[in-house]
Amino acid sequence: MTRSKEVHLITGGGGYPGYTLGKQLIGRNHKVILLDLREPKWPLVEGMTFVKASITNLDELESAFQGVDCVYHMASYGMSGREQLNKKLIEAVNIGGTENVIDACLKNKIRRMVYTSTYNVVFGGQETRDGDETLPYLPLDKHPDHYSRTKSIAEQTVLKTDGRNGLRTCALRLAGVYGPEDQRHIPRIVGYLEQGLLLASAAPDSLQDFLHVENLAQGHLLAGEGLTEARGYVAAGQAYFLSDGCPVNTLQFYQPLIEGLGYNMPKVVISVTMLYFFAFITEWVHFIVARFHNFQPMLTRTEVYKSCVTHYYSVAKARKDLGYNPEKKNDIQEVLEFYKKEGRMKKVRKQSTFMYYLVNIIIAVVFASVVMSFLPGVK
């Protein structure tokens, strides 16, 4: 259906989700501005422009937001890996940057703003089955990482802004995002496979949600429309969970990718407590060596919770209010085909000395945690 041409701006538009949303908006006959510090690696299509700017710079935002009809604030920092441990930058981007985006919207009299949030605003390691938007925010002091804490603060700020000077706002809480050209989670997983680091699994019966990037883009597009007068401002001031709508165990979700690239699924199962302890140790190693070496933690405590504790949420509210209809259902086949084309099939190679010692360190840590569990007074 052809729609009137508007200007839609996406912060974090240089990333894969932002670019994918941009393409869907172009398909709705809108003009699109991708705002980011890095230019997208994919070609700009007709009607799409790129603006290099930082959300931490209010002057740059005020200039870029001129003439914009709707803003999708997708930019954030600290979601995974070593980023999770840089608290100063996390706060500057997620809280300060969001405040700047709101101010730039108000300054330019923009009427619609969709905020990209996360499950983590309500989840902190507690088991949740079929949760919905009536769940309270997790207390700020209960968050296991600074990213989740700052995203919660930012989401609440965005929703409290709804109606101020004509600006309508809503928030979309995303499950783990995936897609063939994901630049964040899947490259790490494939890298671990190639290094021989997928040694064990944990919580094989737990269930988690995932969100295909095309479903993500659909949800954002519909949320932007849900902030219009034509839709009765149905989404104004509201939060929505977005996922593929079919929870699955994390390792089972990645199984077609792992086996499709020629690797074996891990047969050793360890406890979540043991894995959490390992993540705790890697975070401390990062804290010590990060000033000397750009060390990437293999796993953080938050990632243990997200991948090993059952938590999934209903998309019924998004279906009812927005017309959200996720077409992709845990479909990782496209991802597999992408990595096959990239030549990432398993290769027989001699394990490096570094890998030999790293694997032995991991085994030692696991052994130590088992020993500690038997010591008096240690839980």
pLDDT, tens digit (0-9, with 9 covering 90-100), for 245-290: 999 999 999 999 999 999 999 888 888 888 888 887 877 776 676 6
Structure tokens at 34: 């991708």
Q: What is the pLDDT, as a whole number, of residue 347?
A: 81
Q: What is the pTM of this model?
A: 0.88
Q: Chain centroid to CA 319: how far?
A: 21
Closest by CA to 325, choosing from 229, 247, 242, is 242
- State which amino acid sits at residue 194: E
Looking at residue 231, what DSSP letter applies?
A: G
Q: What is the pLDDT, as a whole number, of residue 345?
A: 93
Residue with tokens 């998309």: 315
Cα separation, 169 vs 341, whole angstroms: 41
Cα separation, 53 vs 353, whole angstroms: 43
Q: Nearest 5 degrees, angle CA 286-CA 352-CA 267?
A: 80
Cα separation, 71 vs 35, whole angstroms: 10
Helices (H), 45-115: 58-64, 87-91, 97-107
Q: What is the pLDDT, as a whole number, of residue 305?
A: 87
Q: What is the pLDDT, as a whole number, of residue 355?
A: 53
Q: What is the pLDDT, as a whole number, of residue 135?
A: 98
Query: Catalytic annotation on 147?
Result: yes
Q: Chain centroid to CA 108: how far?
A: 29
Structure tokens at 374: 């038997």
- Collapse the DSSP code of 233 into the 3-class scheme (helix H, G, I; strand E, B; otherwise coil) and give the result: coil
Q: Chain centroid to CA 132: how far?
A: 19
> Domain boundaries in the chain?
7-184+209-247+311-333
Closest by CA to 177, choosing from 335, 4, 64, is 335
Q: What is the pLDDT, as a whole number, of residue 379?
A: 38
Q: Nearest 5 degrees, angle CA 248-CA 254-CA 260?
A: 140
Model confidence pLDDT, tens digit, residues 212-233: 999 999 999 999 999 999 999 9
CATH pick for 7-184+209-247+311-333 out of 3.30.1330.10, 3.40.50.720, 1.10.540.10, 3.40.720.10: 3.40.50.720
Q: Nearest 5 degrees, angle CA 280-CA 283-CA 287?
A: 140
Looking at residue 28, what DSSP letter applies?
A: T
Q: What is the pLDDT, as a whole number, of residue 294?
A: 62
Q: What is the pLDDT, as a whole number, of residue 68?
A: 98
- Which positions of the chain have pLDDT values less than 70? 1-4, 80-82, 84-85, 286-287, 289-297, 348-379
- Collapse the DSSP code of 351 into the 3-class scheme (helix H, G, I; strand E, B; otherwise coil) and give the result: coil
Q: What is the 3-state secondary structure (H, E, C) of 147-198?
A: HHHHHHHHHHHHHHHCCHHHCEEEEEEECEEECCCCCCHHHHHHHHHHCCCC
Structure tokens at 89: 């930058």
Please identify which of the residues 115, 119, 147, 305 carries the catalytic annotation: 147
Looking at residue 205, what DSSP letter applies?
A: T
